[in-house]
Amino acid sequence: MQLSKSLNQYQRHADAPSLYRRCFMMALFALLMVITSVKPTAVWAADSSKSASSASGTATPQDTFGRDTPRGSVQGFIQALAKSDWMLASRYVDLSSTKDPSGTLESLKSALDSGGRINEQLQISNDPTGNLDDKLAPNLDKVGEINNPTADKKSIDILMQRVKQSNGTNIWLISQQTLQEVASLSLVTQPTLVEKYIPKQWIEKDIKGYSLGHIGAVIALMIATYLACLLISQILYMIITRIYLATHPDREKQFPIDGRVVVPAAMVLTALIIKEAMILVGINLVVRNMASNLADILSWVSMVWLILRILDLIFKRAENYASNNHHPERLSVLNLLRKVVKLILIAIATIVILGNLGYDLTTGIAALGIGGVALALGAQKTIENLVGSVSVVADQPVNVGDYCRFGTQEGTVEDIGIRSTRLRTTDRTVVTIPNGNFSSMSIENVSQRDMFHFSQVFYISRDSDIDKLREFMEQTQIYITNHPDTNSVWNQVRISGTQQDAYLVEVRCYLNVKGAMDFNQKQTDMILKIAEMMKEVGLKNALPTSRVMMGKPIDITYSNFANTVPVKDKVTASEKLAQSDKPDTKP
């Protein structure tokens, strides 16, 4: 057989130029990744190589076939199968204890083509030590399974085993355990649907190792699956819409989810079904693996598309609710949140898609994290104001149109933006406050009070009759109690204190009025009414008084002249002042 001849001649072709070209391209790609990465990437690589070689104390050479990690071995094995290079494929299989290498490889390929499933790229470890959390032996990693049931086991695990070579390198190979279980299978030799309905010459013809017939079968299967899923999604949407409208009495009310979700939902179903459908029709492993990667990418793209559609519907309803309930300050924040959520979803989908394509994103994610921290430190105030705007809208201490007191100022809120809040003061000026500062202030929302406080003090003269004062207080208490705008929260008339010339009669109550203008009018009427009642009883207001004390002129003498100036020459201060005002008659 050609396979046996190829295996026997492999040692002579191990150093073929194609392998050198492949190694050169891998080294060039690695060099470009190192050049385009940031400094933490190089540090991480140095730490990784240092930790990997710490056990032996010396640097361990890398494997030229990319078998240092389970993911690299799986990728190399599938590429070898795509090229029909049996010599290269045998390098990824542990054939040390196999008597018939060619028969073992044929059985393995037939089992993989008939029902083999290889895990996604991100699910296969890319660490030289493998996945240590899979509850398997440290030198074993599961990378897939083969669905060819036997009497006691429904599937066979595809295990990669870490093997130490004579030169000290550790490589990952398909384990002997997997090969032994595959050899015990009773493979079905019936032709598959692809072999029945696709011409043989199309199947044998390949493009870079991928069978042209199998590629055409995958395309036809994907189109048929998508059309069927689209029809199913449309039918389900119509059924759910009719059930919703039938269970709601308001028939004019539309279904909250429109028909734009049908297409992405059909794409999600297609990505989920196509993998099983390819096994049923008999697509070989090489083409199926490529199509599975594309299906994974399609599933993530369609899932993000579907979620974005649903987010648009949710935010649209939230914006309509904010507009209808007169909360325009929420619109800017909702728009910002929608963009942030969309950006996060697209970033996650991009990372997963690149991972499925085989790119190692560990260093890239680390670089993005460091860049994000640097950006956050540089835009600290901006982020603080954004968070403050979210806090103001979420906590709602004030809304647009509310009158509030903040700090040493007060005014009416005119706009709550993403960065700042604008208020118009009583002087008709506009104050702009960053939301980071505004959210941390002590804000008194005057517009949210449920009632207005009437509190007035009347000064009654101290020489008033006590009985009349008591009668006045009783009449005032009856008046505020029976007033149509007061309530029972606090109605009280009392003497809160005394002064030298007045009794301080305090009248307090709460008024249920519509607003400040209405309160000012009712307060004026009540003050005038109480003043009339005070006049009818015969009480007078205690007016502020002031006393001027008049006395004789004070004689001011100068003690230093007491002994030298005669008594008759002594004058008072007033006389001296009068003399100074007389005109000078001397020439």
Ranked by mean pLDDT, the top range of 72-86, 128-142, 179-193, 463-477 is 463-477
**Which of 322, 316, 338, 341 has the alpha carbon at shortest distance from 416?**
322
**Residue showing tokens 């085993």:** 161
* Helix, strand, coil percent values for the chain (each to nearest 5): 55, 15, 30
Q: What is the DSSP string of 265-331?
A: HHHHHHHHHHHHHHHHHT--HHHHHHHHHHHHHHHHHHHHHHHHHHHHHHHHHHHHHHHHTT-THHH
Most confident of the following: 33-37, 195-199, 224-228, 419-423: 224-228
pLDDT recorded at residue 467: 92
What are the DSSP E strand ranges found in 115-212? Answer: 116-118, 140-146, 156-164, 170-174, 206-207, 210-211
For residues 516 and 520, give the distance between their C-alpha atoms in angstroms, rounded to a whole number: 6
Task: State the Cα–Cα distance between residues 503 and 496, nearest whole angstrom.
Answer: 8
- Distance (Å) of CA 586 to CA 46, 229, 577: 114, 129, 19
Let me know: does 415 contact 332? Beta carbons within 8 Å: no
Residues in a beta bridge with 457? 506
* Confidence tier at 342 by pLDDT (50, 70, 90): confident
Residue 393 pLDDT level (bands cut at 50, 70, 90): confident
Write phi, then psi, for 400 (nearest 5 degrees).
-60, 130
Least-confidence region, from 29-38, 188-197, 436-445: 29-38
Query: What is the per-residue pLDDT for 526?
Result: 95
Alpha carbon of residue 58 to chain centroid? 46
Sole residue written with tokens 């073929």: 16
**Which of the four pLDDT bands, split at 50, 70 and 90, describes residue 553?**
low
CA distances from 121 to 124, 125, 141 (A): 5, 8, 14
Q: Do the beta carbons of residue 509 and residue 492 sit within 8 Å?
A: yes
CA dist., res. 210 & res. 82, Å (int): 6
Lowest mean pLDDT among 281-290, 369-378, 449-458: 369-378
Mean pLDDT over all residues of the chain? Answer: 77
The three-state secondary structure class of 21 is helix
Amino acid type, 126: N
Q: Which residues contact 13 (CB under 8 A, 6 or more apart)?
A: 87
N- to C-terminal Cα distance for the chain?
157
7 with 90: CB under 8 angstroms?
yes
What is the sign, positive or negative, of the torsion defined by CA atoms of 526, 531, 533, 539? Answer: positive
Q: Cα separation of 5 and 521, whole Å?
A: 109
Residue 10 banded pLDDT, cuts 50, 70, 90:
very low
Structure token digits, residue 24: 């050169």
CA dihedral for 225, 228, 234, 237, sign (positive or negative): negative
458 with 519: CB under 8 angstroms? no
**Per-residue pLDDT tens digits for 308-321:** 888 888 888 887 87
pLDDT score, position 375: 67
Q: How confident is the model at residue 230 (pLDDT cuts 50, 70, 90)?
A: very high
User: In CATH, what class is 383-447?
Assistant: mainly beta
Contact 12, 19 (CB under 8 A): no
pLDDT for res 188: 56
User: What is the rounded average pLDDT of the residues 383-409?
Assistant: 81
Which residues does residue 443 pair with via DSSP β-bridges, in sequence order?
406
pLDDT in the model for residue 65? 86
Q: Do the Cβ atoms of 211 and 176 come closer than 8 Å? A: no
Both structure tokens of 155: 């599937």
Q: Find tokens 């392998």 and name the residue.
A: 19
List the chain domain ranges.
2-189, 210-378, 383-447, 451-537, 552-582
Per-residue CA distances from 269 to 88, 119, 230 (Å): 37, 19, 9
| Mean per-residue pLDDT, 108-136 | 84
Helix (H, G, I), strand (E, B) or coil at 507: strand
Task: State mean pLDDT over 75-96.
Answer: 87
What pLDDT is attached to residue 7? 42
Which residue is listed with tokens 């979420």? 394
**Rounded-to-integer distance, Cα 58 and Cα 357, Å:** 33
Looking at the predicted structure, is the pLDDT value of residue 387 above 60?
yes
Average pLDDT over residues 409-435: 87
Q: What pLDDT does residue 561 have?
A: 46
179: tokens are: 């090969």
d(CA 234, CA 132): 45
pLDDT at 120 over 60: yes
Question: 484 vs 519, 528, 533, CA distance in Å?
Answer: 13, 17, 18
528-551 per-position pLDDT tens digit: 999 999 999 999 888 766 666 666
User: Whose CA is closest to 491, among 504, 477, 502?
Assistant: 477
Q: Give the span between the Cα atoms of 264 and 193, in whole angstroms.
A: 29
- pLDDT for res 6: 43
Longest dimension (CA), the chain: 159
pLDDT at 478: 93
* Fold held by 451-537: Alpha-Beta Plaits (3.30.70)
Tokens of residue 546, six digits: 């002031």
